[in-house]
């Protein structure tokens, strides 16, 4: 792993540091939004589910616009504008404390910034890197991102409901500093990543099976992401919920970089089977509702998504003739569709199980879907094993 990644130049070191700081600030706020909207602003769980669904749709699906924008104006410029938009969103959350409807709009604005940023960030990170080394670079970026996601809730947990104003001010200041650092990054030429010329349709060249698999994986995973906060805080505390997230993110930080080579070599059908099995087992364990079950369920879900999310991105890059930024944007669109469906349907189902007095059924229903939906939607398509796209293969040879 060290031999693959190092030595890193200054821009890549800063990009990896930013991949820690940006989710650090974001996850001081975002994981608690369901609790914040429900308890602080008095929104019903059904309405909270719809808000989270819209925010997730924007954050993920907007990535397809971010990828196309990066193709046109450059990776650095796209990241810079994305951070400016996201900073404005956190300012809006601060003012939303006095006018609650503004909080919903500000949340969506922060998601717009995230949508534009991540495809360009990933493309910048793997720019000019050959196929064998890409899993290690993507895993390193994911590890930095998950480290920030782990620390953020742990830091903010005691303050998100008691002192949200100071929390939003701190996060805004952090994003101002990170944005200033991105302004000093050197520009990367976007036409060297193996894609076809810019100006095509946003979905042209989409890798159909990785796209569908990513949508389904995010739909199932976001049952955990959207509703664990409400479920865990009722049975433990916000601090314990932060510890569950810390465990999950720590697993990604440690396991995914170490397993990146194995995941790259794993047959796609095997990776999907392993990943969805992990999600099913973890969601079923959450239904027990005890503190050990919350930890064990979160760990199993995380091990499943470590395989699914990385393998789907690698397979999409392998099958698509488009540029890296566009491919990552298309995969983000799939993620957004899945996360949105999870918020809309999951919010209604969670509300019904809450009214019935047993929210454990919510997790069992989600686990059942992890078994049935991959069989119905994905396995028939796995009989096709397309060869690597010749355009991307020739580009890789030319670059290296």
Neighbour-count burial of 257, counting CB atoms closer than 10 A to its CB (0-12 exposed, 13-18 middle, 19+ buried): buried
**Per the structure block, which two tokens stand in for 140?**
């390193």
Question: Which range is most confident: 99-103, 242-246, 312-316, 374-378?
Answer: 312-316
Contact 368, 278 (CB under 8 A): no
pLDDT the model gives residue 192 = 41
Instruction: List phi, psi (to 5°) of 218.
Output: -70, -35
Tokens 């069989």 correspond to what residue? Answer: 375
Q: With 70 as the cut, is the pLDDT of residue 157 above it?
A: no
Compute the half-sphere exposure of residue 134: CA atoms within 13 Å on the CB side of its CA: 23
Region 376-388: what's the mean pLDDT? Answer: 60
pLDDT the model gives residue 6 = 54
Distances (CA, A) of 95 to 6, 101, 159, 168, 235: 43, 10, 17, 9, 31
Please write the tens of the pLDDT for every residue from 230-277: 888 788 777 788 788 888 878 888 888 888 889 989 999 899 999 999
Q: With 60 as the cut, is the pLDDT of residue 393 above it?
A: no
Alpha-carbon span 124 to 110, nearest angstrom: 21
Q: With 70 as the cut, is the pLDDT of residue 199 above it?
A: no
| 274 CB-near residues (< 8 Å, 6+ apart) | 266, 304, 307
**What per-residue string of b and e applies to 355-387 under the rule 16 or more CB within 10 Å gives b?**
eeeebebbbebbbebbeeebeeebeeebeeeee
Q: With 50 as the cut, is the pLDDT of residue 50 above it?
A: yes
Tokens 């994003």 correspond to what residue? Answer: 175
| Region class of 207: left (phi > 0), else alpha (psi between -120 and 50), else beta | beta
pLDDT the model gives residue 191 = 44
Q: With 90 as the cut, is the pLDDT of residue 123 above it?
A: no
Q: State yes or no: cis peptide before 346, omega within 30 of 0.
A: no
| 150 CB-near residues (< 8 Å, 6+ apart) | 27, 245, 246, 248, 249, 250, 253
**Per the structure block, which two tokens stand in for 97?**
């404390």
Percent of the chain past pLDDT 70, that is, above it, reads: 84
Q: Specify the higher pLDDT residue, 139 or 182.
A: 182
> Confidence class of residue 5 from pLDDT cuts 50, 70 and 90?
low
Alpha-carbon span 175 to 181, nearest angstrom: 10
Q: With 60 as the cut, is the pLDDT of residue 386 above it?
A: no
Instruction: List phi, psi (to 5°) of 345.
Output: -70, -45
Distances (CA, A) of 5 to 13, 31, 136, 218: 11, 31, 7, 28
> Confidence class of residue 324 from pLDDT cuts 50, 70 and 90?
confident
pLDDT the model gives residue 366 = 93
pLDDT the model gives residue 267 = 92
Q: Is 187 helix (H, G, I), strand (E, B) or coil?
A: coil
> Confidence class of residue 399 from pLDDT cuts 50, 70 and 90?
very low
Neighbours of 157 (CB within 10 A): 21
Percent of the chain past pLDDT 90, that is, above it, reads: 24
Q: Which of 215, 236, 250, 166 is nearest to 336 (CA)?
A: 215
Please write the tens of the pLDDT for every residue from 168-189: 888 899 999 999 999 888 876 5
Please write the tens of the pLDDT for every residue from 64-104: 888 888 888 888 899 999 999 999 998 888 887 777 678 88
Question: Which range is most confident: 18-22, 275-279, 376-380?
Answer: 275-279
């Amino acid at each position: 792993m060290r031999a693959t990644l190092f030595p890193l130049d200054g821009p890549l070191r800063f990009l990896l540091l930013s991949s820690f700081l940006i989710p650090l600030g974001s996850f001081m706020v975002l994981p608690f939004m369901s609790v914040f909207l429900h308890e602080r602003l008095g929104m019903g769980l059904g309405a909270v589910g719809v808000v989270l669904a819209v925010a997730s749709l924007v954050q993920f699906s907007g990535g397809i616009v971010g990828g196309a924008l990066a193709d046109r104006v450059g990776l650095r410029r796209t990241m810079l504008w994305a951070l400016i938009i996201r900073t404005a969103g956190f300012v809006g959350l601060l003012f939303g404390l006095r006018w609650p409807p503004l909080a919903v709009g500000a949340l969506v604005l922060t998601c717009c910034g995230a949508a534009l940023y991540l495809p360009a960030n990933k493309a910048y990170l793997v720019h000019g890197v050959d196929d064998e080394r890409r899993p290690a670079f993507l895993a390193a970026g994911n590890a930095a991102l998950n480290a920030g996601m782990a620390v953020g809730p742990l830091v903010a947990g005691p303050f998100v409901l008691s002192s949200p104003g100071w929390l939003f001010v701190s996060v805004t200041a952090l994003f101002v500093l990170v944005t200033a650092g991105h302004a000093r990054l050197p520009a990367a030429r976007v036409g060297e990543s193996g894609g076809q010329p810019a100006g095509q349709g946003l979905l042209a060249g989409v890798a159909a099976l990785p796209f569908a698999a990513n949508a389904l994986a995010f739909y199932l995973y976001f049952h955990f992401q959207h509703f664990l906060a409400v479920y865990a805080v009722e049975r433990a505390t916000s601090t314990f919920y932060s510890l569950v997230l810390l465990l999950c993110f720590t697993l990604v930080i440690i396991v995914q970089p170490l397993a990146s080579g194995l995941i790259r070599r794993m047959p796609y059908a095997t990776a999907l089977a392993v990943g969805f099995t992990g999600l099913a087992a973890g969601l079923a364990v959450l239904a027990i509702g005890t503190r050990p079950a919350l930890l064990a369920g979160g760990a199993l879900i995380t091990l499943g998504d470590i395989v699914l999310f990385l393998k789907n991105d690698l397979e999409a890059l392998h099958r698509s003739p488009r540029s890296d930024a566009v491919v990552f944007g298309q995969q983000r669109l799939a993620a957004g569709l899945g996360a949105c469906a999870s918020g809309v349907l999951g919010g209604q189902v969670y509300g019904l199980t809450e009214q019935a007095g047993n929210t454990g059924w919510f997790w069992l229903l989600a686990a059942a879907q992890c078994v049935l939906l991959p069989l119905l939607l994905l396995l028939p398509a796995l009989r096709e094993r397309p060869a690597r796209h010749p355009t991307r293969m020739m580009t890789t040879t030319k670059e290296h």
